[in-house]
Chain A
């Protein structure tokens, strides 16, 4: 019998390499999108599923964070920097089969900046004075003021080009121009995408992609270990990563994000309106202890509000080195030698809850009693972000290139500094990369020297994947999991 079967087995084995490559992928992320319209909801989970998969903008973030052409093949910028002429790619169609042309771009931009706009990042479009259609392949955007960051703005997930006819149902049935079309959404469980045969670019290797949503760290570990899922992007249980690293079935990627995690201080309220007190808090913090204790070693220390992987980053961690004695001296200089009591309001993510406990202990060591208040996100937005009712809070600012929030005196930490606002005006008016670098360095130094907030660390982004998968984004220059270049190697 064995002898009879042996040739059959050989034939089967020989047939194996010829068998089709696996073309489906199940990727898990922690949070489920609350809707599927990236242009009217701030939830990062929407971009995690749809950015560069279903939706594309005029420009896009590449894996290394640089800006590259997307639906706009090229562009011309006028001498004075206020007029951008975008030349659209030919042969681009929406998933419903209709052509994407200049009218759709105008519709998208006008919708985002209009009075009824519910775009969560409306500020990206505020500077647009007029959008005109030159011909079906050419759009001219006139800005009120020159803005060196305009092409970056257009790469955001909130600026993707949408089909006018799809708007009514966009939150549940999104129609874009990307390499994958939306197939179905089983709420609470999964979103299925299928390869779009009419895609303008190179056809992706995957035929179908399923996004699943697993928020519980233990469940994430179990699902990955049982190989129910192929990839977990943003793995929520860093304590389990060594186990996956040691297992040849898996590969662990530790990428960076745009998430500057800060201990924000209420610059407008007593005693944090005194720069000496803010400096004391900054020197009381031991960043590495927080990274080790709260993040299991994942994260890069930062000394200002800027991503370390950005070429323009300046390492200013020495300006706020861990020095409890210095902190106590500074407090005494500020007339607070007895220390003081304040609140430390913490939103739900583990970087805040776990980090907050360590921060409170470090502050206690220099005489600052920080009373921990745990809040849900909705409460945090109301009390801290909108109501400015806090002393200290821990939060990660995940938007790319967001140092300009320090130029907004009404922003929740309420830093009001004319010098910094001047720097941001100069930055907007400057297009030359070298000059922009100098201004950005000055801006980073300004907020670090002023100790506006205590800058903790850049949030890391761990991904656990089946070892046979390649082409995944390691870093997160924007929240996204582009799948066009992802494939199974065997």
Chain B
């Protein structure tokens, strides 16, 4: 298990290094100058030049790349061009919204998907199964921002139970969780639909396996066999989906954060791209890359934990 973990860790490091180079190059090549953006249409060329010097944009690209990556290794992400505050602090602030939102959405989607999948798999082909599959088909087809607008219309405007958006901060955890509930639900519904479908088909496949028949022959009821032997074996594809979903939830909440005007990572990167706040864009993208790689790594470890055969195979 340890050797396996070490090999995975090494490939993780290489992936990060390659990613940093790609991210830097892409952002450098994209047209648009942060200094010109900041000074707008009334600015004179010498003013733009003065600002470029002040921001350090006149240094050669390689020097800036090395300064950026070197800084990141020691936890210093540099200073935002437009906001003039340390990027690390800005990202940390936004993570306090985006990370809880992603976890909340993940918890909701799992909580919705597992019972639905078990219910459907146990009633394969019957009315209950068809109803669950029909509902998840709709869930997969409808985009999350549409759910978001629907939730706002019903629960914020008509019923007045929630505010239409915004985030009050964590000083009052109950209020903070309440503010994240509609966005998390909007994010979770389509994810839950996908998860439920994957898990149901995994369970249905497993129900046809020999060891399930053996379990039934031992005298376990259909439901007991499903719980004790079916669920654990169905977890591999489910873990893959959950891992992918978490990365998606962290990075893909940009639209949901716009709809609910939440001060999260998605909104930060959206603003930073339009303002050409290059260091912020590069750093947030790197963070997301790191999160995806880390989650993949943890998912791999989880496979090995769930299925001991995987530890020896590689």
Interface residues of A (CB under 8 A from B): 32, 34-35, 37, 40-43, 115-123, 171-172, 186-190, 212-216, 218-219, 222-223, 225-226, 228, 348, 376-379, 381-383, 385-386, 397, 399, 412
Which A residues touch B93, using CB under 8 A? Answer: 186-188
Question: Shortest Cβ distance from B222 into chain A, in angstroms?
Answer: 47
Question: Shortest Cβ distance from B50 into chain A, in angstroms?
Answer: 5
Q: Are B31 and A382 in contact (CB under 8 A)?
A: yes
Q: Are B263 and A228 in contact (CB under 8 A)?
A: no
Known contacts A188-B263, A222-B164, A381-B32; decide if A118 and B42 are in contact (CB<8 Å). no
7 additional A-B pairs beyond A223-B163, A226-B163, beta carbons within 8 Å, are: A118-B39, A122-B44, A172-B84, A187-B90, A187-B94, A219-B261, A376-B274
Within 8 A of A (CB), among B248-277: 258-264, 267-268, 271, 273-277
The 9 closest A-B pairs by CB, nearest first: A42-B40, A188-B263, A378-B32, A34-B82, A222-B164, A189-B263, A171-B84, A226-B164, A120-B39
Question: Shortest Cβ distance from A14 into chain B, in angstroms?
Answer: 28
Which B residues touch A383, using CB under 8 A? Answer: 31
| Sample of 21 A–B contacts (CB below 8 Å) | A32-B271, A34-B83, A41-B39, A42-B41, A115-B46, A120-B38, A187-B90, A187-B94, A218-B259, A219-B260, A222-B153, A228-B163, A228-B164, A378-B31, A378-B33, A378-B36, A378-B275, A381-B37, A382-B31, A385-B36, A386-B36
Q: Does B221 contact A (CB under 8 A)?
A: no
Interface residues of B (CB under 8 A from A): 31-34, 36-44, 46-47, 50-51, 54, 82-85, 90, 93-94, 149, 152-153, 156-157, 160, 163-167, 169, 258-264, 267-268, 271, 273-277
Which A residues touch B37, using CB under 8 A? Answer: 377-378, 381
Which A residues touch B39, using CB under 8 A? Answer: 41-42, 118, 120
Which B residues touch A218, using CB under 8 A? Answer: 149, 259
Q: Are B276 and A119 in contact (CB under 8 A)?
A: no
A117 to B166, CA, bound (A): 37
A115 to B153, CA, bound (A): 54
Q: Are B274 and A377 in contact (CB under 8 A)?
A: yes
Q: Are A223 and B164 in contact (CB under 8 A)?
A: yes
A231 to B38, CA, bound (A): 27
Question: Shortest Cβ distance from A353 into chain B, in angstroms?
Answer: 14
Which B residues touch A378, using CB under 8 A? Answer: 31-34, 36-37, 274-276
A116 to B47, CA, bound (A): 8
Question: Shortest Cβ distance from A154 into chain B, in angstroms?
Answer: 16
Q: Are B165 and A381 in contact (CB under 8 A)?
A: no
Which B residues touch A228, using CB under 8 A? Answer: 156, 163-166
A57 to B313, CA, bound (A): 73
A43 to B83, CA, bound (A): 12
